[in-house]
Amino acid sequence: MTQSNTVNVQILDKEYCIACPPDERANLESAARYLDGKMREIRMSGKVIGADRVAVMAALNITHDLLHKQQHLDQQASSTREQVRDLLERVDHALAADQDAAQD
């Protein structure tokens, strides 16, 4: 028995059939639920009318969140690299001091 390579998801009460490898099905369904939720939030705010506009606003909001999180991760990685460099420098100094003491 072979599994289907398509998944049906509902976003704003419309059904979409999307090609998807079986091992990615859960991720796709989760993404669709997330998108549906964001689009419903925007539609319920009453500030944006029309499914196309709601979709674009949801895409912009999700992209903004993604880029903000990526920037935060980049800053954390940079800080971590700096901490590792500082620790390596301290280890080098300690080893050099230990080597100097052993030579005396």
Q: How many domains does the chain have?
A: 1
- pTM beyond 0.85: the answer is no
| Greatest Cα pair distance in the chain | 81
CA-angle at 24, arms to 16 and 31, nearest 5°: 55
**pLDDT digits over 1-24, tens only?**
445 799 999 999 999 999 999 999
Full residue range of the structural domain in which residue 66 is found: 6-75
What is the CATH classification number for the domain harbouring 13? Answer: 3.30.160.880
Q: What is the pLDDT of residues 42-60, one digit of tens each?
A: 999 998 889 999 999 999 9
Q: How far apart are CA 19 and CA 97, in angstroms?
A: 62
Amino acid at residue number 56: V
Domain assignment present for residue 87? The answer is: no
Q: Is 93 within the bounds of a domain?
A: no
Collapsed DSSP state (helix, strand, coil) of residue 48: coil
